[in-house]
Every structure is written in structure tokens, then in C-alpha cells.
Homo-oligomer: A and B are copies of this chain.
């Protein structure tokens, strides 16, 4: 088995996944999840890895595939040995429920290269918004059904804690039937893990909306998390519609001081159990992770999360490596995301400059996607992905030859480079306004070519 791993260039950070893979019998190694051969082939080509290796990893659950070949959504792989992916969160809020604005944000996110999009709408006609976004979204789309269940419960019963289980399952099925590719489901927050939040006097309590809603529900109903209690039914829906589960981290730390505490780790251990049950049920599954976290804890967290969650693909929200920079959290998240991905995370949820301030606008979406794409690509480069190094080398060659149009074409955001060059042009178009005739690359190259 390790020879196979070696051939396809699996980074050392993913080796753990192979323990899971090796422990499977040959019987379970085929047809576990409903991923077609065409889809596998499309992803193998896109990622430039061998189809057999991809199939093994999908079967082992260390890679998840979203979307279907030949459908409206181009299939996308997440996980061990693949390019790190970036998600953009969209969606209305109770204060701003403007579908046109959300469509503009969707188009902006796709234009700057978001690999997936999530609709987190909480305001307006949620069914209608989701259907429109689904129709216009050419990449895998995720949702968080608990938001809609809470909003409908509030409308019907006057309290968003009064969500009947039947309503929760109904909303999940509605999302699935609309063709969403994955759903965030906060199945791992339990009464026991919330107790740790209280015991330790967490600075920021619960900062996940889904988590806070479920904690509220558990308190009001004096009962266990319905998404945990009814997990088999949830999996049944996901299996029927081919939806992947993104296990939400309801107890992710919302302050660097709260990182890696007992509540977080307890929930992670429950998520590990839920990963195994999803795989058993033939449902593809990946796991969401923190949150706010000082840099020195990142590598340990990624390894622990992946280990406890049986090497399922790891989808990180941030992490934000400091709490003090509202307005610049896309930069804070890029630092944390890059380090997480270097340590083995597979999928970065963007953070926008609007984080901790308000609902993002179109420019926030653009800035968030680009910052996360930089983090993801920096990790691809450091993890040894050959195409990543090629891209950087091409840019470096364009730079040393001072071919500005080639640089723009290769830039992660061509428009910004062209616009800025246009605003203030150098006297000598072969150099830039920083160094002018003192251009070091020109000077060294001219000397060498004499």
C-alpha cells in the first residue's frame, strides 16, 4: 500500500489516512459511496492524480467528492493529496434580505475563483433564495438547514427554540431535494459538551449560530441534540439525495483564549464517532474546525482533529490567529488558514473583512476569496503540489523578464495589477515606479548578458 501512496505523491501530513485505508477489507473498497466512474475520472484529471489512487482515498473517506460529472456542477474533490480548496459564504440576514445583492456576491465569488459556495441565508424567503442561488451556482453549493428550521419555528411558534424534530428533518430534506451538494449539520454538540463550556467559563461561550441554537433547543426541551439523536434519519436523507455531510463545529472557540479547550475537544471526539457512522451509512463526510486559535496551537489541532475524525477531510473556518483586528480578519484568517493547510487541512472557509462587523458586501466577498486563495495556494506550494510550484515559477520568469502583461495574466487577480499599473505609469515601461532605473533585476540581467 505504501508504494501506491509514494507514487501519487501523498504529503506526509496525510499518511494517517492510509491507516484507515489499509484497515478496510477489499470488499468495502468498492462502491461504498455513490460516486460514479465518470465523476472519479473527471476529478482525477483535474487534480492530476491516478484514478486508482483517488478511488481508494474516496472509498477510505479521506477524500470527499462534491458534484457529479455531466451535471450542472463540475465535480470537486476535497482531501488528502489534492489542491486545497476555498469556500465563500453568502446569504441574507434578518437585517438585509436582498436577493439581488446575494446574486451579485455569488457572481463575484465565482469570478475570483471560489471553489464552493455556501448559502447561509437567515432573512427573506429562504426556499426561494436557495433555489435561485442553486440555479446560478456552477460550483458545489452548501447550506446550513438549522437556520431555516429556526426561522420557521419562530414564525410558527414564536420561539426559534421550538423546532419540532419533524420540521428539522423536513428542512434538511427540502435542501437535499433542491440539489445542494453538502450541508453543515451540527450533530456533535451534546449536553455533555455544553457542560464543559460552563465548567471552564469560556470567554466567548458559543459563537456558532447553529451551536447556540441547538444549545438553546437542548435547554428548552431538556433533551439531547436532535441532530445527534436522529443522526441515522439525517444520514438516510443524505444518502438518498447524494448529499455530503459537513459536520459543524458548534463549539469552536470564538476567542483565542478559548482555543483547544475541553468543550472543543469533547465535540471533536463525538464528531469522530459521527464520521464513522456516516461512512458506514454510505454518506460522504468531512469535518469543520476552529475558529479562533493562537498560531502555536494550529499544527497540534489539525493533527488531533484529523486523528480523532479518522482522517476525514478537514474544513477550517479561519482560524483567526488574533482577536484584535476587526476590519482585517481576512488577513488574520489567511495567516491561520495557510498554517492549517500546511499542517494538513484540506478546505478553507473564507473570512471577509466584514467578519465580526456585519454582513459582507460584494467587495468583502472578493477580498475574502482572494485572501483565502492566497493561503490555500501558499500551502499547496509548501506541501509540494507540482502545479503550485509551476505557477510560481511562471510568475517569477515573467517578473524577471519584466513582462507586465504576462504577470497580469498569471496574477491571482489580474484586474488589480492592470489597474494599478495603469494608475501610475513608469517613465520606462519595462520597469516600475518603485525602482525606475535602479531596477535590480534589470541591472543584474543586463550585466550578465554583456
Contact = CB atoms under 8 A, between A and B. Distances in A.
A274 interface: no
A399 B356 contact: yes
A392 B432 CA distance: 40
Interface in A308-347: 321-328, 330-332, 334-335, 338-339, 342
B411 A381 contact: no
A383 interface: yes
A142 interface: no
Given A332-B374, A335-B375, A400-B203, A256 B440 contact: no
A443 B216 CA distance: 7
Interface residues of A, number: 100
Contact of A432 (B122, B160, B198, B357): B357
Contacts of A203: 393, 396-397, 400
Contact of A420 (B213, B357, B374, B444): B357
Contacts of A230: none
Copies in the complex: 2
A301 B120 CA distance: 42
A441 B427 CA distance: 55
Nearest to A207: B440
A216 B444 CA distance: 7
Most buried by B among A150, A212, A439: A212
A324 B209 contact: no
A81 interface: no
15 contacts: A93-B436, A95-B436, A205-B400, A255-B392, A255-B399, A257-B392, A296-B382, A321-B378, A322-B392, A323-B395, A326-B407, A327-B416, A335-B378, A354-B420, A357-B420
B94 A437 contact: yes
Contact of A342 (B211, B295, B439): B295
A93 B431 CA distance: 12
A397 B255 CA distance: 9
